[in-house]
A and B are shown apart, each in its own frame.
Chain A
């Protein structure tokens, strides 16, 4: 662990425990290792439909990480195409359902609804920020890919990825900390704020 400008830099390995994530704060840098699951809009809908029908999933949500993304197709011989984060707020409505099942972190981009922070505190979970639009670069941290289900959804299929040193920032921590709010307050010109 490296201490810089009051922020930590840590290496995490999935599955994540409540204890290790509670120690992190918004703005900390994370290098993530291990298995993560890729799911976005329709993937979430399908997962919930299937779980409600009592279907067994091929993995456990306990300590799991979901990456909100939809990659480009892989070329022959490649593991995956480009894979950057999609806008997380669209998945806010599904979040609590999966937190209840043990989901420990989500990865995406952009601010989310205020309630998300309360949910993360309640269940002890993180929201991690990946750099949007750095999709080719981020694909270089993916070492394995497997399509788990919903192949008919194309770019929205449920994937299992293995990542090594995947570069992330803690966007919302489990104590209500918010990288977007903190950043904006610090770098905002307040005169303008009052003006408009």
Chain B
């Protein structure tokens, strides 16, 4: 049995949360620069220029990229042969959020109860998905996104035997009406299969992967590319002002599904893509 210190996890997660809220990944900056070069709309270019300026100011002044520092999501893959010494994983994640959000003056946006609660004051708890795996490794994928893009999440209950084109139509219809509110250009997660709640989980899980990580299945890689191009033909553009860049990446995750159902989950991240993967 491998052992891992509680404090080691807290420290690493705290550091990751600090960094992802302040520093944008290099690949994201490159994608934004490409989008800026491709846009013909002066207003779209204006929006993208401000996004690029924002990377500089945030890093220089140690300010969060977005005022909505989100509800922290963590997807945890834990090997059955690894043990945390000194506390639970859930406690470690909560403690890391508490420290990172207090020490770095991030916004505390979590209400203790939807109806009867008040602000918890430290941005805890996060939302955690634990998956038990074989072996002695621990992997934590952290994803931070704001309320604006989470509010366009959607569940489609399609007919069994649906073709990729029908799933794409669902995605296009949803994004056409709501995409402009979610701070495009977006990263789009699509979960297909499982049951209804699992399809939404698959979509979130797809978003929690690092930027630019290609789908291992070439058939899905092809679909991701086609859907991205088609979403960009909607014309929504950066911040919805019109343009060629509405989506930077589409990620599809699938799971076996029941003969009588075909759930599709759609979950997006705004252009301030805040993600980190930690491994032990």
Does B associate with A?
yes
Chain B contacts of A89 at CB under 8 A? 181
Query: Which stretch from B43-51, B88-96, B130-138, B207-215 is at the chain A interface?
Result: B43-51
| Contact assessment for B65 and A136 in the assembled complex, using a CB-CB cutoff below 8 Å | yes
Check B53 for interface membership: any CB of A closer than 8 A: yes
A84 to B, closest residue via Cβ: B67
Q: Which of A7, A111, A131, A186 has the most C-beta atoms of chain B within 10 angstroms of its own C-beta?
A: A131
- Closest Cβ–Cβ distance, residue B69 to chain A (whole Å): 7
Chain B contacts of A7 at CB under 8 A? 42-43
| Contact assessment for B50 and A82 in the assembled complex, using a CB-CB cutoff below 8 Å | no
Chain A contacts of B233 at CB under 8 A? 188-189, 192
Check B272 for interface membership: any CB of A closer than 8 A: yes
Chain B contacts of A53 at CB under 8 A? none
| Contact assessment for A72 and B105 in the assembled complex, using a CB-CB cutoff below 8 Å | yes
| Contact assessment for A111 and B41 in the assembled complex, using a CB-CB cutoff below 8 Å | no
Q: What total of chain B residues lie within 8 Å of the partner, measured CB to CB?
A: 52
| Contact assessment for B242 and A187 in the assembled complex, using a CB-CB cutoff below 8 Å | yes
CA distance A75 to B108 in the complex (A): 14
- Closest Cβ–Cβ distance, residue B173 to chain A (whole Å): 7
B234 to A, closest residue via Cβ: A188
Check B11 for interface membership: any CB of A closer than 8 A: no
CA distance A138 to B65 in the complex (A): 10
- Closest Cβ–Cβ distance, residue A22 to chain B (whole Å): 21
| Contact assessment for B270 and A133 in the assembled complex, using a CB-CB cutoff below 8 Å | yes
- Closest Cβ–Cβ distance, residue A112 to chain B (whole Å): 9
With A89-B181, A187-B244 as known contacts, state yes or no: A82 contacts B235, CB within 8 Å: no
- Closest Cβ–Cβ distance, residue B20 to chain A (whole Å): 14
| Contact assessment for A136 and B63 in the assembled complex, using a CB-CB cutoff below 8 Å | yes
Q: List 13 extra interface pairs beyond A110-B148, A169-B43, CB under 8 A.
A: A81-B64, A109-B148, A111-B180, A131-B47, A133-B66, A135-B63, A155-B108, A179-B240, A183-B237, A183-B242, A183-B243, A184-B240, A186-B242
With A71-B67, A110-B181 as known contacts, state yes or no: A185 contacts B148, CB within 8 Å: no
Residues of chain B having any CB pair with chain A under 8 Å: 41-44, 46-47, 50-51, 53-54, 57-58, 61, 63-69, 105-109, 119, 147-148, 151, 168-169, 172-173, 180-183, 230, 233-237, 239-244, 270-272
Interchain Cβ contacts within 8 Å, total number: 171
CA distance A135 to B244 in the complex (A): 23
13 example contacts (A-B, Cβ-Cβ < 8 A) are as follows A5-B42, A72-B106, A82-B65, A87-B147, A87-B151, A111-B240, A132-B183, A133-B51, A133-B272, A136-B64, A137-B58, A140-B57, A169-B46
Chain A contacts of B107 at CB under 8 A? 70-73, 81, 155
Interface string of A90-120 (1 = CB under 8 A from B): 0000000000000000000111000000000
| Contact assessment for A129 and B148 in the assembled complex, using a CB-CB cutoff below 8 Å | no
- Closest Cβ–Cβ distance, residue A127 to chain B (whole Å): 12
With A87-B148, A109-B183, A140-B57 as known contacts, state yes or no: A184 contacts B242, CB within 8 Å: yes
- Closest Cβ–Cβ distance, residue B151 to chain A (whole Å): 7
